[in-house]
Chains A and B, each alone.
Chain A
Amino acid sequence: MAMGINVERYFVLAWMLAGFVALLGGLVWGNAIGVDTQLAALGLKVFPVVILGGLDSILGVIIGGVIVGVAEAISAGYVDPYVGGGTKDFTPYVLMILVLMFRPYGIFGKPIIERI
């Protein structure tokens, strides 16, 4: 703000861009699987993707998305028959916690340097 940046304007811009990109995702998803009111629950699934890849890395999001998608499909195909289904919903989260334990900022995230 001290540098003459209109902070409010860029917050608005960031939110607008986020909404627009999410819209593209929603369009693709809706075309492939169909639209209903439960689609909003999908919003929770993006967190493992971005956190797995690292919060400030575009490459991380792409790779995280692929990893999460593949892991979901694998667990639905190979693990579900043994335990009775439903593992698809939380496999991404387990994977994410495992990654966070070794790389706290995701695979490609930048470590945050803390000051006192």
Chain B
Amino acid sequence: MFHRESGYFKTTYQSDMALYPLPIGKAAIAGLAILFFIIFPLVLDEYYLTLVNLAAIAVVGALGLNILLGYCGQISIGHAAFMSVGAYTAANFAVHFHFPFWLTIPAGGAVAALIGLFVGLPALRVKGLYLAIATLAAQFIIEWTLNHTPIISGGIQASIEMPRPELFGEVLETQTEMYFFLMPLSVIAILATLNLVRSRIGRVFIAIRDQEIAAEIIGINVYRYKLLAFAVSSFYAGVAGVMATYYYGIANYEAFQLPISIDYLAMCIIGGLGSVLGSVFGAVFITLLPFGVRVFMETVGVYFVDGVYLAQVIAQMRLIIFGGLIIFFLVVEPEGLNKLWQNIRNYFRVWPFSY
């Protein structure tokens, strides 16, 4: 049962497209499921569950951006703005109409997708750097609109208090309960993406990314699929925004500003463009990095820095190490963490031989 293939033996398209090409895949999924749904919540401290929860939210957002950036080749610097659209939609529905979470999540995603369609319109005319700046404009415009429309956000600098999600009459409040709320959503997002990218739509996205004119010539409606990519990506962002609102307990535009958009771009690029596993790696890496830096500075940094200044130094070091690591990873492996993981796997697959 626990074996890997020794060569390339696939003879049908079905076996090439299969989610679990080998029995070990199912075993690994089962093992991960036990790890994440039984061992983690039981063993981990509340503090560490916080980190896992944040990572679960980031995974959904990063998957959305990776569909757009990695699969369809359209860049967006307005991802956090779509998250805020989802967050405010959900918060308003939950507060004014008392929607339960299984309605606010699709609603937040749908409204974000609608806004994403509009933001995607410039993609029909421009690409590359031009498109990046056009989506950057969307980030600023959405942020400003939310902030200056009292009906949506309750006034300038205000935030909406979000009711806690309820499941079977139980109000989810502790980190462990939130974990069981966020984690399944994250798993659903991963599965949905895996299935999307191996479907017809996913293949069209890849065709557009690789060579837009060629894709158009073989009969793909490029404009339609570009807009679709924006809509799907924004839907994911909206869902991530709703998850974040439920998690933080408030909807506030400050949680979705430009640096967050750039964080999500970094997640996709560090993790590996055009790979689902890569987005997961990137999201976890970027989310855990600040906490890793803090632990590092508190254990090692105390020997170099006076205790009084440590808090300030940590805040600054975080940015420096963040930027440094991004450059380091991109220089070492331009195709991201996913490629790094594949290299390790391939090494052990043929071990003890060199190839």
A interface, CB within 8 angstroms of B = 44, 47-48, 51, 55, 83-84, 86-87, 89-90, 93-94, 96-97, 100-101, 104-105, 114, 116
Residue of B nearest to A93 (CB): B137
Q: Is the CB of A90 within 8 A of B148?
A: no
By the criterion CB–CB under 8 Å, are B130 and A86 in contact? no
Task: Name the segment of B139-147, B160-168, B240-248, B288-296 touching the other chain.
Answer: B139-147
Distance of A113 from chain B, by nearest CB (Å)? 11
Residues of B within 8 A of A97 (CB): 122, 134, 137
B257 to chain A, nearest CB (A): 11
Taking a contact as CB atoms under 8 Å apart, the answer to whether B137 and A116 are in contact is no
**Chain B contacts for A114, CB-based, 8 A:** 212-213
Q: Is B300 an interface residue (CB 8 A)?
A: no
Partner of B133, one of A93, A105, A116: A93
Residues of B within 8 A of A93 (CB): 133-134, 136-137, 140-141
Contact (A89, B126) CB under 8 Å given A51-B133, A84-B156, A97-B134: no
| CB pair A90 B134 closer than 8 Å | no
Q: How many A-B residue pairs have CB under 8 A?
A: 55
- Is the C-beta of B200 less than 8 angstroms from some C-beta in chain A? no
Q: Contact check, B144 vs A89: say whether CB atoms are below 8 A apart.
A: yes
Shortest CB–CB separation between residue A64 and chain B, in angstroms?
12
Q: Is the CB of B126 within 8 A of A90?
A: no
Are B129 and A51 interface neighbours, CB within 8 A?
yes
By DSSP majority rule, is chain B's interface helix, strand, loop, or mixed? helix
**Whole-angstrom distance from the CB of B217 to the nearest CB of chain A?**
8
The answer on a CB contact under 8 Å between B147 and A116 is no
Flag if B133 contacts A96 (CB, 8 Å).
yes
A101-B141 contact, Cβ under 8 Å, with A51-B129, A116-B213: no
Contact across chains for A83 and B148 when beta carbons are under 8 A apart: yes
Say yes or no: B137 contacts A94, CB within 8 Å.
Answer: yes
Q: Does B214 contact A (CB under 8 A)?
A: yes
Q: How far is the CA of A87 from the CA of B137 in the complex (A)?
A: 12
Contact A101 B136 (CB under 8 A): no
Contact A100 B144 (CB under 8 A): no
> Is B126 a contact of A104 with CB atoms below 8 Å?
yes
Expressed in whole angstroms, the Cα–Cα distance for A86 and B148 within the complex equals 9
Q: Which of B206-245 contact A (CB under 8 A)?
A: 211-214, 217
- A50–chain B nearest beta-carbon distance, Å: 9
* B65 CB, nearest partner CB in chain A, Å: 19
B125 CB–A CB distance under 8 Å: yes
Q: 1/0 per residue B94-124: CB within 8 Å of A?
A: 0000000000000000000000000000100
Which residue of chain B has its CB nearest to the CB of A115?
Answer: B213
* Top-10 shortest CB links A-B: A93-B137, A90-B140, A47-B133, A104-B125, A104-B126, A90-B141, A100-B126, A84-B148, A116-B213, A116-B214
A90 to B141, CA, bound (A): 6
Q: Please determine whether B130 and A104 come into contact, CB atoms closer than 8 angstroms.
A: yes
CB contacts (< 8 Å) of B156 on chain A: these are 84
**Residues on B with beta carbons closer than 8 Å to the beta carbon of A94:** 137, 141
30 contacts between A and B (CB under 8 A): A44-B136, A47-B133, A47-B136, A48-B137, A51-B129, A51-B130, A51-B133, A84-B148, A84-B156, A86-B144, A86-B147, A87-B144, A89-B140, A89-B144, A90-B140, A93-B136, A93-B141, A94-B137, A94-B141, A96-B134, A97-B122, A97-B137, A100-B122, A100-B125, A100-B134, A101-B122, A101-B125, A104-B130, A114-B212, A116-B217
Measured in the bound complex, the distance between the Cα atoms of B147 and A86 in whole Å is: 10
Closest to B213 in A: A116
Beyond known contacts A90-B144, A97-B137, A101-B125: 19 more, CB 8 A cutoff: A47-B133, A51-B129, A84-B156, A86-B144, A86-B148, A90-B137, A90-B140, A93-B136, A93-B140, A94-B141, A96-B134, A100-B126, A100-B134, A101-B122, A104-B126, A104-B130, A105-B130, A114-B213, A116-B213
